[in-house]
Structure 1
Amino acid sequence: MSPYFVSDWSPLHDASIHGRLLTLTKLIKQGCDVNLVTAAQVSPLHEACLGGHAACASVLLKHGAQVNGVTVDWHTPLFSACVSGSVACLNLLLQHGASLHPPCDLASPIHEAAKRGHVQCVEFLASHGVNIDHNIKHLGTPLYVACENQEVNCAKKLLESGANVNSGKGLDSPLHVAARNCSVELVTLLIDFGADIWVKNDESKRPMELVPPGSPVGRLFLQKEGPLSLMQLCRLCIRRCFGHKQHQKITGLLLPEELKHFLLHV
């Protein structure tokens, strides 16, 4: 079922959310308006993308569905596709002129994808030019959101794409939230990508001060307190030189595979 409460739900919306392609095609042939919206301004295209039904989305778009329609909650079809994790829908929407820039910070597609652990959506958006460091006051950066929800693979994909490892939510860094969640995997990942273990949040606390006594994460911080190795300094420096899309750029370098694997954290 759709999460929206609607007072004027139509058969077209119903077919779209459930992926009933034949029914949808029949309704359109009978003259149903593909841009019919509910009281909450939800279109059939929103619902097709929310259900992850690319075939239905394709039919709607071919018949003139508004690709950048906005609901009362500021959701676009692109945002809905990130809720469902459908790269196929994202690709279709982009082909039909969808805007990658959210009309409002209350519904940012890349933040939603990062929150839900949809790695392929994060990768798709990052590779098509979405600002992966977009910092929203009430959410923080996509990396912060991924760490907050302990979505390790999304965090890794963002870091590989060149996300700023220290940019979080206000003074709270991704490492702060990873430490607070006692995630060894995330803390290790962030430190490997150059996270500052000494940075203080708005309570003047360093990440290591947020870890409960005796936690494995606390021991990990103690191991990392010393100066960085020359190898790690070189890796961080090289990655910074490449900026965004650094993963793809490093992959294409004429270097021994072992060295590329080191730079890529493989």
Structure 2
Amino acid sequence: MATETDIIFPLRSALAVTQKFCMIATPAFWIHLIHDFVSDWSPMHDAAVNGRLLSLRMLISQGYGVNLITADRVSPLHEACLGGHSTCAGVLLKHGAQVDGVTVDWHTPLYNACVSGSQDCVNLLLEHGASPHAVCDLASPIHEAAKRGHLGCMESLVSHGANINENIRHLGTPLYVACENQQIACAKRLLESGANANQGKELDSPLHVAARNSSSDLVHLLIDFGAEPHSKNAEGKRPVDLVPPNSTLAQVFSQKEGPLSLMQICRLRIRKCFGIKQHHRISELLLPEELKRFLLHI
């Protein structure tokens, strides 16, 4: 029967030989090895995720590929964007990194940039032709930006044609996601850009989720932008049914029960005519400033 010594000494010998080989192996050997096999992690990934620009440039000059991927199909560009390192991302793109590479989780570099909240990375990717649309329902850049309150990222996506009313079955619309996570600034910008105030997650409207979270600011905002307070969800409940009966929020709903004023109807109709980017278009109208402020909810 083998003793502990019989097992340990051969292992130590093998380890010593391996260490010696690693020391004498040339960089060219390792580059060749990495190109031959899918890497779990490479020096390129390490430099990118940590924002080590000089190291990244040196590795590229030594022949490391910018599109090297891990077993999960994560590229150095994915890591640079996840770390919010726009300069590293720029170098990778300059040397031919795939701008719309997709991981096994359907994450693109643009999605990762929205996770980190780096508007610089988002703008850089969009300028290099990245699609602002989700490649799969599992990973939508605009939903992720809305969820995390990354207003700048969301604005860049909208300005490049992202669908502000994109309805993903398990998430809902970007507006619904923003309201669900109580990201008021993102919700307001989506509404200003023409998002439908009544489209949420299946029958659950943004107003339902705002009421459920007892968010008075969101309730006021949504109703001002035309949210229907009498809509019912899958359980047959109105938004008001989701708040405590004698709460301040219940009183708000009570005050909003009547029909909209003519001024409110006109404002909603005018805004609807402009569609997306209406916030900027209304500002350009040759109207009195007071009227423009009313149309812009200022």
Structure 2 residue 225 is the aligned partner of structure 1 residue 193: yes
State which of 238, 262, 265 in structure 1 corresponds to 2:294: 262
**1:1-266 superposed matches below 5 A:** 8-266=40-298
Aligned residues: 261
Q: Conserved in 1, the CA contact under 8 Å of 2:39 and 2:69? A: no
Q: Conserved in 2, the CA contact under 8 Å of 1:182 and 1:215? A: no
Q: Conserved in 2, the CA contact under 8 Å of 1:79 and 1:112? A: yes
1:50-89 CA distance string (max 9 Å, x none): 1111100000001111111100000000111111111211
Q: Conserved in 2, the CA contact under 8 Å of 1:19 and 1:48? A: yes
Residue 106 of structure 1 aligns to a residue whose secondary structure is coil
1:64 aligned partner, one-letter code: G
CA distance in 2, matches of 1:253, 1:161: 16
1:221-251 CA distance string (max 9 Å, x none): 0111112122111111111111111101101
1:49 aligned partner, one-letter code: C
- Report percent identity of matched pairs: 73
Say what the alpha-carbon RMSD is for the aligned residues. 1.2
Unaligned ranges ≥5, structure 2: 1-37
CA distance in 2, matches of 1:108, 1:228: 35
2:116 aligned partner, one-letter code: S
Task: Between 10-19 and 94-103, report the one with greater CA deviation.
Answer: 94-103
Larger RCO (CA under 8 A, 6+ residues apart): 1
CA distance in 1, matches of 2:210, 2:172: 14
Shift of 1:142: 0.3
2:279 aligned partner, one-letter code: H
Alpha carbons of structure 1 residues 24 and 7: separation in structure 2 relative to 1, 3 Å:
closer
Q: Conserved in 1, the CA contact under 8 Å of 2:126 and 2:160? A: no
Shift of 1:7: 7.3
CA distance in 2, matches of 1:205, 1:7: 52
CA distance in 1, matches of 2:153, 2:246: 37
Shift of 1:101: 2.2
1:53 aligned partner, one-letter code: H
CA distance in 2, matches of 1:12, 1:121: 26
Task: Between 67-76 and 121-130, report the one with greater CA deviation.
Answer: 121-130
Larger Rg over CA atoms? 2
- What is the TM-score of this pair, normalised by structure 2? 0.86
CA distance in 1, matches of 2:244, 2:79: 44
Unaligned ranges ≥5, structure 1: 1-5
Q: Conserved in 1, the CA contact under 8 Å of 2:80 and 2:86? A: yes
CA distance in 2, matches of 1:100, 1:117: 17
Q: Conserved in 1, the CA contact under 8 Å of 2:82 and 2:115? A: yes
Shift of 1:41: 0.6
CA distance in 1, matches of 2:61, 2:67: 14
Shift of 1:215: 2.2
Task: Between 255-264 and 211-220, report the one with greater CA deviation.
Answer: 211-220
CA distance in 1, matches of 2:277, 2:295: 13
Residue 159 of structure 1 aligns to a residue whose secondary structure is helix
Q: Which runs of at least 4 in structure 1 moved beyond 4 Å after TM superposition?
A: none
1:30 aligned partner, one-letter code: Q
1:122 aligned partner, one-letter code: M
1:172 aligned partner, one-letter code: D
